[in-house]
Structure 1
Amino acid sequence: GAGKTTLALILLDHCRARGLFSRLIGDDRLLAAAYAGRLVCRVPATIAGLAEVPGFMPRPLPFELGGVIDLHVRLVPKAEMARFQEDISEPVAGCPVPRIDLAERNAATALPAVMARLSIAPFL
């Protein structure tokens, strides 16, 4: 309901359109662990390669078994979101991970915020 999958699919498409490698690791659930001070997440085998598209059953798409996580995007009710956010990190599996809070169900405003936070085109 918060728009996680929709945002993930839009982010994947945005990066691919700019020639950047992008793949889904998992939809809704990941297995997290710390390796050498970095957060690494893997997809459970039961949901590997599937994304739940609103209004449809889970659909197959290209995926990676796991990867290093550079940003924790938290989708929150619009009323809980600050207009400007400090650079914050949140521990996940014992690793500090940069976090950004974005309004749920609003991929149009979330996309540029994530791109800016990760310094991906058009942001440098």
Structure 2
Amino acid sequence: MPEGEAEALWHASCVAVGERGLLIHGPSGAGKSALALKLMALGAQLVADDQVLLRRDGADVVARCPPQIRGLIEARGMGLLRATARDAVRVALVVDLSRQEDHRLPPRHHIAVLGVTLDLVLAVQADHFPYALLQYLRDGRQA
């Protein structure tokens, strides 16, 4: 769908930390649901898993879940798990699991979603990644 459109369906997962949403995208098998589950174990709320409805609302992108999969998240090897789901959240950060971050102190990355520029984080293969994402959502990034 062209970036100027007002709505889109993404193959992604989304969780909320307070009023800030994290959109996790990448190819099938990249670990979107696994990362969402880790963040939920740390207190994040599920918004959507596998499919995320995105809608532009002024200068914001709002994420919500298609009704047929609301409150469900896949856990590989266990099946679909039930989870208390939040209705919608404003997306504050996007994680791209298809690209690896190579820098110890990376430059800021951005992505245009429905014509809105959002902060982007590339995948980090380290145990601290979910914790760092949670902290980023809570208090932002310095540089």
Q: TM-score, normalised by structure 1?
A: 0.78
Aligned-pair CA distance for 1:119? 4.2
Counterpart among 39, 46, 58 of residue 61 in structure 2: 39
Deviation at 1:10, TM superposition (A): 1.2
Q: Which amino acid aligns with 1:113?
A: A
1:99-118 alignment runs, 5 A limit: 99-103=120-124, 106=125, 108-118=127-137
**Corresponding residue pairs, total:** 112
Q: Name the amino acid aligned to 1:59.
A: L
Pair 43,52 (structure 1): closer, same or farther in 2 beyond 3 Å: same
| Secondary structure of the corresponding residue to residue 48 of structure 2 | coil
Structure 1 portions without partners, runs of 5+: 17-21
More strand by share: 2
Counterpart CA distance in 1 for 2:126 and 2:102 is 17
**Unmatched tracts of structure 2, length 5 or more:** 1-28
The CA distance in 2 between the partners of 1:60 and 1:71, in whole Å, is: 25
| Identical residues among aligned pairs (%) | 25
Is 2:41 the partner of 1:13?
yes
TM-score by length of 2: 0.69
Matches within 5 A, 1:57-76: 57-76=79-98
Instruction: Please state whether the residue corresponding to 2:118 is helix, strand or coil.
Output: strand
Considering fraction of residues, name the structure with more helix. Answer: 1
- What CA distance in whole angstroms lies between the structure 2 residues aligned with 1:94 and 1:101? 20
